[in-house]
Amino acid sequence: MLRFTIRQAAGLALLASLVLASTPPAVAQQRQGQTAVQDGYGFGCKSGTSWTMDNGVVRCKLPIAPTVPEAPCAAVSNFAPLGACRFDLPAVGSGVTATAPNKTTGYIGSTTLTCTNGSWGAASTTCIPIPKLTVTPGASSILLGDSTTFSWSASDATSVSYSCSGANPSSGSLPVSGSRTLSGNFVGSTSCTATASGPGGTSPTASWSFYTSAPAGCSATTFTSGSCTYSIPAMSSGGSATGSNTTSGFSGSVQASCFNGSVNVSSPTCTANPAPPPPPPPPPPPPPSPPPAPPATVCSMSNYSPAWGAGCGTTINDVLADGATGTYNNTNVGYAGALSYTCTAGSLSVASQSCSASAAPPPAPPAPPANCAIAGFPASWGGGCGTTINTVLTHGQAGGFNSTTAGFVGMKGYTCNNGSLVPSGSEVCAATPPPAPPCPSTQTTSGSCVFNITTMTDGQSSVFSAVSGGIGSIMATCSAGAWLFTNRSCESNQRPPTPACPSGASFNGSVCVAPWAYLVLNGSSMGLIDSRALPAVSMLPPDLEALISGTTLSAINSTVSVSTFSCTAEVNRMMAAGELSPQTSGGVSGSTAGLSWSCSIGMDSATMMPSWHVLISP
């Protein structure tokens, strides 16, 4: 900065006498502490600027350019910067950052953009598919000790987990595809679920179940082979027994076993008994009958084996007195009952009997439901959708089938129920929407740049370069027949006319550059920089005030040494002639970056209106 320093009294008196002698009385005086604003070149300021003086210090002022508000960004629907995701962007002001969630079914994600003067900036986007899982259950009904196997396949997933609860619980982690066997170790129903996990979260849960039943036993039965008929007793599942022949005149046996209500036989034997011997000769006539014996008074039973009812029997060794009654319990396995005999004059008669099965055999399990093997099944729904179904499903398994009718899109669900397809779940049917229209070729501008945009299809994006008006680029995106422009840039190639530079200087695009900055010859062998020379003033950056303030002379482009330096004050040439002698001198250093300078001038600014110029001699 220029500094006004109070000099010694002798110096100030000399200065005052010189100034007062050359200033007419009619001139208005600028007093210390006051401020004046004028336009023009009166104190070395450029034309079009103004200057102020405060306490004798002159400062040049450039006009302030008006502030232009930045434009907001309009809302954008179905923005698709990445993959299958779609986003709706709200309308925001310039400088605002907006984040929008994905709205495409089956995906998760978000996009973040910043509005800059009417243009959306580059998007930071995530778009991740949600995992999908398909499970094929195994047999829905098995016997105790058997197993069932299910298979699965997952997409957009890194792992699968399953869990079964009920009669046969189990759980675990699985790869993204494969099969697993589940054992039926306990009787009852078992329910299972499975889910797939991945970067996009968790898939919908797949569910299935199976029932484990105990094997049924076998009731007593008969078996015929050849001439023999064998009596096979009741057996539990997994048991075995030997059946004996009951046909007169033959001997034999068969081996029998039971599995889940079915009797299996093996190794039957059947042999005819040898012919009976000839009858003996008739006995001699009996002697005369003795007188009749008195009536028997007792009934004697020895290894007597009566049978009664559906399967009761026992062996009796007993003696009943005449008129007595005896009761004998059943001893055959699987039955309960009793038989009573009464002895009358040596003869037995049945007094009462009872017989019932002690434990009824378990009922046979119901037949498992039938699976579905469908070929050529016609399906129609929704007033226009339809297809022909060819599929294989297990009982209870559901499937979704897409419409194949031209002009319509949709899906219908069916479930296999004991060999037949029945509708299940929701159905969708809609006329095929027309394709989104393309965007026609057009021309648009950004700043001074002009861009020719070619025809593109819906969803297509491309970057175009300016064809005139400047250097720049713009990204164009076609969305449902409308253009969306982003990522604009434009650098104008319009330049102001090159100014005329002094002899020996050249224009570098902003200022004139001389071999040594702004050198003006002053009629002698010594070069001078003189702020009063109009060509020099027009080349001193940024204006005269910068030089007076002592900032760096940045245009100097070589290493120099300065022999003399002076700051000179002169009276306004309109009011007086001649120049004042230099009042003081300052120091200057030379470098490749430029020259820095400062100076102090002592004078009484209250009595004169000085202007300044600077002399630098290399």
pLDDT of residue 215: 87
CA distance 345 to 348: 9
pLDDT of residue 21: 35
Q: Collapse the DSSP code of 252 into the 3-class scheme (helix H, G, I; strand E, B; otherwise coil) and give the result.
A: strand
How many other CB atoms sit within 10 Å of the CB of residue 66?
5
Dist CA 88 CA 103 (whole Å) = 8
- Say which residue, 55 or 246, is predicted with more confidence: 246
Tell me whether residue 243 is exposed, middle or buried, using C-beta atoms within 10 angstroms of its C-beta: 0 to 12, 13 to 18, 19 or more: buried
pLDDT at position 294 over 90: no
Largest CA-CA distance found in the chain, in angstroms, rounded: 207
Q: What is the DSSP annotation of 421-460?
A: EEE-S--EEEEPPPPPPPBPPEEEEETTEEEEEPPB-TT-
Residue 494: which pLDDT band, with cuts at 50, 70 and 90? Answer: low
The pLDDT assigned to 236 comes to 87
CB 175, CB 196: distance < 8 Å: no
Q: What integer best gives the mean pLDDT of the chain?
A: 75
Instruction: Name the more confident of 213 and 508.
Output: 213
The percentage of the chain sitting over the pLDDT mark of 70, rounded to a whole number, equals: 69
- Residues 366-388 pLDDT 10s: 788 889 988 889 998 888 899 99
**What is the pLDDT averaged over residues 458-482?**
91
Q: Calculate mean pLDDT across residues 500-519.
A: 52
DSSP 523: S
What residues pair up with 476 in beta bridges, in sequence order?
462, 485
- pLDDT value of position 359: 62
Residue keyed to tokens 């303030």: 549
Q: Where are the beta strands (DSSP E) in 214-289?
A: 221-225, 228-232, 240-245, 250-259, 262-272
> Averaged over 301-319, what is the pLDDT?
89
What are 208's strand-pairing partners? 192
pLDDT of residue 69: 85
Question: Which pLDDT score is estimated for 426?
Answer: 78
Contacts of 141 (CB under 8 A, 6+ apart): 210, 211, 213, 365, 368
* Parallel, antiparallel or unpaired: strands 3-4 and 600-601: parallel
- Greatest mean pLDDT range, 9-23, 111-125, 269-283, 491-505: 111-125
Using the structure block, give the residue that is written with the tokens 């840039």.
Answer: 489
Q: Which of the pair, 488 or 494, is modelled with greater confidence? A: 488
Q: Tens digits of per-residue pLDDT, 566-578? A: 444 333 322 222 2
Q: Which residue has the higher pLDDT, 335 or 591?
A: 335
Q: Per-residue pLDDT averaged across 501-526, rounded?
A: 45
Within 10 A of 476 (CB to CB), how many other CB atoms are there?
21
Query: 344-380 b/e with 16+ CB inside 10 Å = b?
Result: beeebeeeebebebeeeeeeeeeeeeebbebeeeebe
Its pTM surpasses 0.85: no
**pLDDT tier at 562, thresholds 50, 70, 90:** very low
Asked whether residue 158 carries a pLDDT value surpassing 60, the answer given is yes
Instruction: Answer yes or no: is pLDDT of 319 > 50.
Output: yes
Q: What is the mean pLDDT of residues 406-432?
A: 88
User: Who wins on pLDDT, 395 or 514?
Assistant: 395
Whether the per-residue pLDDT at 68 is higher than 70: the answer is: yes
pLDDT at 151: 96
Residue 353: pLDDT band with limits 50, 70, 90: very high
Q: What is the percent of the chain with per-residue pLDDT over 90, rounded to a whole number?
A: 38
- State phi, psi for 128 to the nearest 5 degrees: -120, 130
CA distance 82 to 105: 15
Q: What is the mean pLDDT of residues 442-464?
A: 92
8-34 pLDDT per residue, tens:
333 333 333 333 333 333 333 344 444
pLDDT at 479 over 70: yes
- Residue 203 exposed, middle or buried by CB count within 10 Å (0-12, 13-18, 19+): buried
pLDDT at residue 55 in the model: 72
Nearest Cα to Cα of residue 228 among 203, 249, 200: 249
